[in-house]
Amino acid sequence: MDCFGTFFQLCDYGGTYDPFIGGTITGVPKGVEISIAELQAEMTRRAPSPQDFFSTKREEKDQIEIESGIEEGITTGEEIRFKIYNRDVQPNQALLHVLKPSHASYTYKMKYGIQDNSGIGRASARQTACRVVAGAIAKQVLKPYGIEFQSSVDERTTEKMRQLEKEGLQDDTMGAVVRGVIRNLPPGLGEPIYDKLDARLAYAMLSINGAKGFEIGEGFHAAQMLGSEYNDTQNPDFSFNSNHDGGVQAGISNGQDVYFAVAFKPIPTIQKEQKSIDFDGNIVTFSGNKRNDICVAPRVLVVVEAMAAMVVLDFLLIEQNRKR
């Protein structure tokens, strides 16, 4: 299993070709009311839709099966175990021995010695379903604190998506920028020096499949600004006149909205014919099987929110433990 988090932790297992995926969640306090309907609603946001132009045609309902840790909608304080069955598993046999470009084929071969693509299921975005389960639970735990998580597709990405759909081009894929906001976060969360809030958010977001860039606050635009333009000055009541830092200063939340952006590369599997090599180094020509997403948006939005919620709850529990 692979794990994320310290006090609030997700450890998950399984891949896209396995009978099911699942995991364990630790750190959820006892006695928290958890709505299974709300969990399932978050899963529906991530689930593929055959009617969506940009979504895979793979049909998965992503029904969560809670095995332990929640009884009659209340957490028991024990680890939460869950399972999600893979219902529509159709491996593309034509690509089984192809080193798929910009995918995990070559790196998994070199690291683990695998000899075909049946061994790279953990690298599939199917794994993000487990993240959404943990994130949905984290959101419900954080609800009494008034902390909210929102995400949206960047305007330029949205415009490109409209253009692609208008032209009906489904033989290629495209990248995306997703913007996230964390509202009502109390000041004081973050663990400098090496576990800053913004550093952990970057770590969390860049662990999502296909993520290639992260910025918080003004991000890269800050490099073009003067200090007199950038500095978030304060008033006598300690309120801020701006929020160029994106709600984080010295790695610690300052009480303002935390806003950030995540850049995702185009999905590697495309329907256009490509030339590459197989696992033995032979030149091959291949194409996808029309079961890939065209863009990670909008399905990745709930994944971004989930990772943010996991980070925030983890830091909140760390802070509460410190004050005991």
- Answer yes or no: is pLDDT of 91 > 70: no
Residues 215-249: tens digit of each pLDDT: 999 999 999 999 999 999 999 999 999 999 999 99
CB 219 within 8 A of CB 244: no
Give long-range contacts, CB 8 A cutoff, 24+ apart: 59-68: 59/87, 59/88, 60/86, 60/87, 60/88, 61/87, 62/129, 64/36, 64/39, 64/40, 64/133, 66/36
pLDDT at 119: 63
Q: How does pLDDT run across 138-182, given as a tens digit for each residue? A: 999 999 999 999 999 999 999 999 998 888 878 899 999 999 999
- Per-residue model confidence (pLDDT) at position 115: 84
% of the chain residues with pLDDT over 70: 97
Answer whether 296's CB lies under 8 Å from 268's CB: no
Q: What mean pLDDT do residues 55-62 have?
A: 72
pLDDT band at 51 (very low <50, low <70, confident <90, very high): low
| Residue the block writes with tokens 């009311």 | 33
Q: Indicate the pTM of the whole model.
A: 0.94
pLDDT at 48: 77
Q: Which of 168, 123, 195 is nearest to 294 (CA)?
A: 168
Q: How confident is the model at residue 90 (pLDDT cuts 50, 70, 90)?
A: low
Q: Domain 2-322 belongs to what architecture?
A: 4-Layer Sandwich (3.60)
Enumerate the β-bridge partners of residue 216.
260
Model confidence at 125: pLDDT above 80: yes
What average pLDDT does range 92-99 have in this prediction? 82
Q: Distance between CA atoms of 66 and 248, rounded to whole angstroms?
A: 36
Residue 50 has pLDDT above 90, yes or no: no
